[in-house]
Amino acid sequence: MLSRLEGARVGSRYGASLKSRSQLRGFLPVVCLAGRQSSEGGLGETSKTRFAIVGAGFAGLGVCWNLLRQLKEEQGLRHRGGKIEIDVYDAHGVGSGASAVAAGILHPLNTRGNVTWRGVEAMNETLALMKQIDRWRQEKLPNDGNEAILRQTGVLKVAKSEKDLERFERIKAERRGEIELHVVRGAEAATGRGDDCRGKAPGYMYTPHAYAVNSPKYLELLEGVCHSMAGEGRDVSLRLCKTLVPSLEMLEGQGYTTIIICAGAAVGTIKELRGKFPLRLSETFGVELETALSTKAVASPEDRGLLASIDCDPSLLGQTYVVKQPEDKAVLGAVHSEEQVDPEDALGSRYCHIADGLDDRAQVVNREKMMAMASRLLEKSDTIFPGLLQGYELSSVHCGVRALPPKSEEGRLPVCGKINDKTWYLLGLGARGLLYHAYLSKRLVDAILVEDESKLPQEVTRLTREGETGGRE
């Protein structure tokens, strides 16, 4: 398995998603330098309201979009008077951290098949945002091509035992009316392909409410729509500041009205916030394959009646996941390194592209580690879905650092709240950035504009309420 990676080069993915942005001509970001000052006063100007957003991944761009949405709808911002400035800081640009290597699977279930905290509501808000972005693209970028950002695939969770099936039935009953779930029982349901069935399973659970997302393209368009919305307001400016924020003091010295920290696992690179949140940093690896596999093969032919009516291959959910992509591609994830991870490691993602023609600017780093983690993931996936991964070609390996929040009664939930009168945060989205970024960024912006933290769901403000910002999990 390792031999398939021979000759591969490993490089930085910093800025990789910016390559096709020449189409956004009027909306390209301006690079800001640390220490830039904004003059107060001016022609007819009475004041400025200045926002600094640290982080340009799912959370940071979600916050940016919601600030601009409030402005466009003439809610919350215009009453402040004067001009509005929004600066988004990220050392390497949009989607350069864990968001850049997200598998792109949007659904409301956890790995055990349970519906996550407010999962259906959060998924629907992400879908609504993506549909708005797609409408904007059709209007503003008619020549952008046919690269879809969203495809409905559904997701399938194979049962390992009769006990799993009983739990699936309970979930279905409890969530009736909230989400469509199907539980298929069958003694011959197999976790293998055709006649090559090395394992048997008693059935599976399936929901059509799951989507494959082209994450880099989505982030590219989300940035574009933010610049477009800012351009529609005479008194609004939006800048992407490609510089590292080493401290809150640096931002406070520039006169920002509000600072919003959405730096993910890199939050520890901000001096005052290092070690302040109980987030466990996890170096996470995934791979992309070229393969003609059909994920429907995890069920035996006799139990595919439900799946036969589905035009596409469903994503597979478990301790590893499989997301089938167009053009005979599939994304697998994820495995985690056991090594200590520093916040500085989270400033960018890494990728290992197997094909020739890698950008000469890419830096060769950690080649052996990337190869070893790819092999480990493929072997683990073959154990969970026996016989499924056959005849594939490995295309790439990717790696990013996630910030995992502590466990709570509702599971691992993001953390969101207020540090002081000027500084707020949205952190710890972990593996659920796609699911929660639209939902929580909207509520965070609503809370910021009325300066009332109680507008946030109490489950995600527990760090503030319980005074837990002094340690780690």
- Whether 22 and 84 map to the same domain: the answer is yes
Q: State whether 315 and 341 are in the same domain.
A: yes
In a shared domain, residues 284 and 362:
yes
pLDDT computed for residue 366 by the predictor: 67
Q: Give the domain extent around 63.
A: 16-97+215-275+408-466
- Cα–Cα distance list, 152 to 107, 219, 330 (Å): 10, 18, 15
Range with the poorest average pLDDT among 77-86, 140-149, 361-370: 361-370
| 308 has a pLDDT exceeding 80 | no
- Tokens for 418, please give them: 């207020």
User: What CATH number did the domain enclosing 89 receive?
Assistant: 3.50.50.60
pLDDT at residue 4 tops 50: no
CATH of the domain at 343: 3.30.9.10
Q: Once rounded to an integer, what is the mean pLDDT over residues 243-267?
A: 95
In this structure, the dihedral spanned by the alpha carbons of residues 288, 291, 292 and 295, taken in order and rounded to 10 degrees, is -50
The pLDDT, as a whole number, for residue 80 is: 54
Interval 169-184: pLDDT, tens = 999 999 999 999 999 9
- What is the separation of C-alpha 353 from the centre of its chain, rounded to a whole number of angstroms? 21
Q: Identify the domain boundary among 356, 385, 403.
A: 403
- 470 three-state secondary structure: coil
Which residues make Cβ contacts (< 8 Å) with residue 355, sequence separation at least 6?
395
Q: What pLDDT digit, counting tens, does each position of 346-388 carry? A: 888 877 777 644 443 334 446 778 889 999 999 999 989 888 8
Question: Within a domain: residue 370?
Answer: yes
Q: Both 349 and 236 in a single domain? A: no
Residues 203 and 317 in one domain: yes
CA distance to 75, 131, 423, per residue, from 84 (Å): 13, 26, 17
Mean pLDDT of the chain: 81
Q: Is residue 276 over pLDDT 60?
A: yes
Residues 319 and 362 in one domain: yes
Q: Which of 403, 432, 456 is the last residue of a domain?
A: 403
Same domain, 334 and 425: no
Q: Tokens 């910030």 identify what position?
A: 403
Task: Place 231 in a pLDDT band, splitting at 50, 70 and 90.
Answer: confident
**Which pLDDT does position 90 carry in this prediction?**
95
Under DSSP, the state recorded for 82 is S
- What is the number of structural domains in the chain? 2
pLDDT of 188 > 60? The answer is no
Structure tokens at 139: 């209007």
Q: Which residues, 6+ apart, have CB-to-CB distance to 442 below 8 Å?
A: 62, 66, 125
In this predicted structure, the answer to whether residue 213 has a pLDDT above a threshold of 80 is: yes
The answer to the question of residue 448 being in a domain is yes
Based on the fold, state whether residues 391 and 378 are members of the same structural domain: yes
Q: Can you give the pLDDT at residue 355?
A: 61
Q: Which of 119-123, 289-293, 302-306, 320-324 ranks highest by mean pLDDT?
A: 119-123
| The model's pTM | 0.85
428 secondary structure, DSSP code: -
